[in-house]
Amino acid sequence: MPNDLSHSPMPPLPDRLRETASLDRKTAAWCDRAEELARDPAMTAAQAAGALAHLARLGQEVAARRLVLTRPLGRRMDEIRGWFAPLEDRIKAARSALSEAAVLVTPQAPHPDDLIEDEHRTDVTALAEGPETHRCTVAIHRAALDLEALRPYFTDHALKTAVARHGMATGQAPLSGVRQVDVVAGATLAVTVEGQAWTPGREG
């Protein structure tokens, strides 16, 4: 019997993907041409720019087709998220309210009558000496932040994002620690991050 999460059946995946066969052939052909051009020592900047522009349009065509095929799945996921969202929001709001109130409470040993064991708290003995506390960050001041101390903890993604935004805001102005090259319009180059990043279990 249909329920609140029922939905119309979708065609089998192979049938829906069969319509993309022409895109598959087109992608293979143009990627082969681009790779052949990349190996040609006589390639000109104009040839590279033209091929890159075509690949960009092809990428847009592929993405558009993918969205058409996945949109029904997206609607289904939205239905499921919509059902769970109120529950998760309610729990989040309750935790937030209680956490903010707890900041004003001075930790102290609980009264024996308060040590009620339930399914979510079984280690009553450990609580007898008082609740465990930990320090939480509640605010970050950009101007005063010690970025040097944080340097090892930035992820590669965070560094790439920050450098990219700096480039957009400054017109790709030179930046210490960043190597830049001039390329034709439409070119996309992989960005590498050098230097060891922090990993759990390793100091600084």
Residues 95-154 pLDDT 10s: 888 887 777 766 555 555 555 555 555 554 544 556 677 777 778 888 898 988 888 888
Asked if residue 12 has pLDDT above 60, the reply is: no
Gyration radius of the chain's alpha carbons? 28
Asked if residue 78 has pLDDT above 90, the reply is: no
Mean pLDDT of the residues in the chain: 78
18 versus 65: which is more confidently predicted? 65
Give which of 7, 193, 179 is closest to 83, Cα–Cα: 7
Percent of the chain scoring above 90 in pLDDT: 15
Measured CA to CA, the distance from residue 199 to residue 202 in angstroms comes to 6
**Lookup: tokens for 43:** 């390639």
Asked if residue 60 has pLDDT above 70, the reply is: yes
Centre a 10 Å sphere on the Cβ of residue 37 and count the other Cβ atoms it contains: 16
Residue 200 has, within 13 A of its CA and on its CB side, a CA count of 0
Q: Mind listing the pLDDT tens digit for each residue in 153-167?
A: 889 999 999 999 999
Q: Considering the entire predicted model, what is its pTM?
A: 0.58
Angstrom CA distances, 104 to 98, 110, 113, stand at: 10, 16, 22
Query: Number of helices and strands (H, E) in the chain?
Result: 6, 0
> Which of these ranges, 11-25, 31-45, 53-67, 139-153, has the smallest mean pLDDT?
11-25
Q: Angle formed by the axes of helices 45-102 and 21-39, to 10°? A: 110
- Report pLDDT for 163: 92
In this prediction, residue 204 has a pLDDT band, given cuts at 50, 70 and 90, of: very low
Asked if residue 192 has pLDDT above 60, the reply is: yes
Percent of the chain scoring above 70 in pLDDT: 74
